[in-house]
Amino acid sequence: MVTLTQEAMEKVKGLLADKQREDLGLRIFIREGGCRGYSYGMAWDSPSEDDQVFEQGGVRVLVDPVSTIYLDGAEVDFKDELMGGGFTIHNPNATSTCGCGQSFRSASGGGKACSCSH
Protein backbone atom coordinates (compact mmCIF):
# COMPACT_ATOMS: atom_id res chain seq x y z
CA MET A 1 0.00 0.00 0.00
CA VAL A 2 1.12 3.56 -0.73
CA THR A 3 0.22 6.28 1.77
CA LEU A 4 0.14 10.06 1.58
CA THR A 5 1.16 12.46 4.32
CA GLN A 6 -1.37 15.11 5.35
CA GLU A 7 0.58 17.71 3.35
CA ALA A 8 0.56 15.53 0.22
CA MET A 9 -3.18 14.82 0.58
CA GLU A 10 -3.99 18.52 0.84
CA LYS A 11 -1.85 19.39 -2.19
CA VAL A 12 -3.33 16.58 -4.30
CA LYS A 13 -6.89 17.57 -3.30
CA GLY A 14 -6.20 21.16 -4.33
CA LEU A 15 -4.74 20.11 -7.67
CA LEU A 16 -7.58 17.66 -8.34
CA ALA A 17 -10.20 20.32 -7.61
CA ASP A 18 -8.93 22.20 -10.66
CA LYS A 19 -9.44 19.12 -12.87
CA GLN A 20 -13.22 18.96 -12.24
CA ARG A 21 -13.39 15.23 -13.04
CA GLU A 22 -14.66 12.74 -10.47
CA ASP A 23 -12.98 9.71 -12.09
CA LEU A 24 -9.40 10.98 -11.73
CA GLY A 25 -6.92 9.78 -9.19
CA LEU A 26 -3.21 10.20 -8.57
CA ARG A 27 -1.30 7.48 -10.40
CA ILE A 28 2.07 6.70 -8.83
CA PHE A 29 4.34 4.48 -10.89
CA ILE A 30 7.89 3.42 -11.52
CA ARG A 31 9.67 3.11 -14.85
CA GLU A 32 13.09 1.99 -15.95
CA GLY A 33 15.66 4.75 -16.07
CA GLY A 34 17.26 7.29 -13.83
CA CYS A 35 20.77 7.01 -12.48
CA ARG A 36 19.90 4.13 -10.10
CA GLY A 37 17.81 1.97 -12.45
CA TYR A 38 14.22 3.00 -11.70
CA SER A 39 12.56 6.38 -11.49
CA TYR A 40 9.28 7.55 -9.99
CA GLY A 41 6.41 9.08 -11.89
CA MET A 42 3.07 10.66 -11.03
CA ALA A 43 0.14 11.52 -13.29
CA TRP A 44 -3.60 12.14 -13.20
CA ASP A 45 -5.41 9.08 -14.46
CA SER A 46 -8.56 6.98 -14.26
CA PRO A 47 -8.29 3.55 -12.64
CA SER A 48 -7.56 0.52 -14.81
CA GLU A 49 -9.05 -2.88 -14.06
CA ASP A 50 -5.82 -4.35 -12.66
CA ASP A 51 -4.77 -1.33 -10.57
CA GLN A 52 -4.40 -1.32 -6.82
CA VAL A 53 -6.64 1.54 -5.70
CA PHE A 54 -6.16 3.17 -2.30
CA GLU A 55 -8.48 5.84 -0.88
CA GLN A 56 -6.95 8.12 1.70
CA GLY A 57 -8.54 11.30 3.01
CA GLY A 58 -10.68 11.68 -0.09
CA VAL A 59 -7.77 11.09 -2.47
CA ARG A 60 -7.71 8.09 -4.78
CA VAL A 61 -4.22 6.66 -5.35
CA LEU A 62 -3.71 4.30 -8.31
CA VAL A 63 -0.79 1.90 -8.64
CA ASP A 64 -0.31 -0.64 -11.45
CA PRO A 65 0.62 -4.24 -10.54
CA VAL A 66 4.33 -3.98 -11.47
CA SER A 67 4.81 -0.69 -9.60
CA THR A 68 3.02 -2.14 -6.56
CA ILE A 69 5.91 -4.57 -6.07
CA TYR A 70 8.43 -1.72 -5.80
CA LEU A 71 6.21 0.81 -3.99
CA ASP A 72 4.66 -1.34 -1.24
CA GLY A 73 4.94 0.61 2.01
CA ALA A 74 6.03 3.85 0.29
CA GLU A 75 4.93 7.25 1.61
CA VAL A 76 4.37 10.31 -0.56
CA ASP A 77 5.10 13.67 1.06
CA PHE A 78 4.87 17.26 -0.12
CA LYS A 79 7.03 20.18 0.97
CA ASP A 80 6.13 23.74 -0.03
CA GLU A 81 9.59 25.27 -0.14
CA LEU A 82 11.26 27.78 -2.38
CA MET A 83 14.19 25.48 -3.16
CA GLY A 84 13.82 21.70 -3.18
CA GLY A 85 10.07 21.69 -2.62
CA GLY A 86 7.52 19.42 -4.24
CA PHE A 87 6.49 15.79 -3.94
CA THR A 88 8.91 13.21 -2.57
CA ILE A 89 8.55 9.46 -2.17
CA HIS A 90 10.00 7.71 0.86
CA ASN A 91 10.37 4.12 -0.32
CA PRO A 92 11.37 1.35 2.11
CA ASN A 93 12.11 -0.93 -0.88
CA ALA A 94 14.89 1.33 -2.18
CA THR A 95 18.37 0.10 -1.33
CA SER A 96 20.02 3.18 -2.84
CA THR A 97 18.70 6.47 -4.14
CA CYS A 98 19.91 9.28 -6.35
CA GLY A 99 20.77 12.68 -4.92
CA CYS A 100 17.76 14.11 -6.73
CA GLY A 101 15.42 11.67 -4.96
CA GLN A 102 13.74 10.68 -8.22
CA SER A 103 15.68 7.50 -8.91
CA PHE A 104 16.24 4.35 -6.87
CA ARG A 105 17.55 0.81 -6.90
CA SER A 106 15.77 -2.09 -5.23
CA ALA A 107 17.19 -5.17 -3.51
CA SER A 108 16.16 -7.26 -6.52
CA GLY A 109 18.15 -4.96 -8.82
CA GLY A 110 16.63 -4.51 -12.23
CA GLY A 111 16.00 -1.37 -14.18
CA LYS A 112 18.28 0.25 -16.65
CA ALA A 113 20.42 3.02 -15.21
CA CYS A 114 20.86 6.17 -17.26
CA SER A 115 21.45 9.82 -16.49
CA CYS A 116 18.68 11.63 -14.69
CA SER A 117 16.89 14.26 -16.70
CA HIS A 118 15.60 17.05 -14.47
Q: What percentage of the chain carries pLDDT values higher than 90?
A: 42
**Residue 114, domain member (yes or no):** no
Exposure b/e, 70-84, CB count within 10 A at least 16 = b? bbeebbbbbeeeeee
**Residue 65, domain member (yes or no):** yes
**Residue 57, domain member (yes or no):** yes
pLDDT of 118 > 50? The answer is: no
**Residue 115, domain member (yes or no):** no
Across the range 81-96, mean pLDDT stands at 79
pTM for the whole structure: 0.78
**Residue 52, domain member (yes or no):** yes
Per the structure, the complete domain to which residue 43 belongs is given by: 3-18+25-106
What is the CATH number for 13?
A: 2.60.300.12
Better-predicted residue by pLDDT, 3 or 18:
3
Which of 93, 82, 5, 8 is closest to 42 using CA atoms? 8
**Residue 113, domain member (yes or no):** no
Type of residue at 18: D
- For the chain, where are the alpha helices, taking DSSP H only? 6-19, 65-71
Query: Domain count of the chain?
Result: 1
**Residue 41, domain member (yes or no):** yes
Better-predicted residue by pLDDT, 54 or 115:
54
- Give tens-digit pLDDT for 7-28: 999 999 999 888 878 889 999 9
